[in-house]
């Protein structure tokens, strides 16, 4: 005979997975690019990277805004070109994701 054990946990003690993932990506950004985007990693001057504000205003008058997950400014090796790298991790599929990414792209 098996018995069930009831476990009650306080969800306020959980680490918010989205925030944890963002912190990991910021901390290991070079390694993340090296593993998932080696062709991009090869061209980045990692001494130049700096995080940018994730908040983008969509309506300056009304104050509406959107918040991206990770936005990084970097220079390419051997030249003064600036690029912006935007990472938006998703744990599951989402309808309208492509459209949302297009809006972020145009705002950035």
- Residue numbers of the domain that contains 74: 15-107
Query: Within a domain: residue 97?
Result: yes
Query: Within a domain: residue 26?
Result: yes
Query: Within a domain: residue 2?
Result: no
Query: Within a domain: residue 4?
Result: no
- Structurally, the chain folds into a number of domains equal to 1
Note the pLDDT tens digit of each residue in 62-87: 767 677 778 889 999 998 899 988 88
Q: Counting Cβ atoms within 10 Å, is residue 86 exposed (0-12), middle (13-18) or buried (19+)?
A: middle
Output 101 or 81, whichever has higher pLDDT.
Answer: 81
Query: Within a domain: residue 37?
Result: yes
The rounded distance, in Å, linking the Cα atoms of 4 and 8 is 13
Note the pLDDT tens digit of each residue in 23-50: 888 899 999 999 999 999 999 999 999 8
């Amino acid at each position: 005979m098996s018995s069930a054990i009831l476990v009650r946990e306080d969800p306020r003690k959980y680490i918010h997975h989205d925030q944890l993932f963002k912190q990991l990506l910021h901390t290991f950004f070079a390694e993340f690019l090296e593993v998932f985007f080696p062709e991009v990693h090869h061209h980045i001057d990692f001494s130049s990277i700096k995080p940018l504000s994730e908040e983008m205003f969509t309506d300056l008058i009304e104050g509406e805004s959107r918040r991206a997950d990770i936005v990084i400014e970097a220079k390419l090796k051997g030249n003064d070109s600036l690029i912006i790298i935007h990472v938006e991790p998703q744990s599951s599929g989402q309808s309208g994701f492509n459209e949302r990414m297009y809006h972020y792209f145009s705002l950035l």
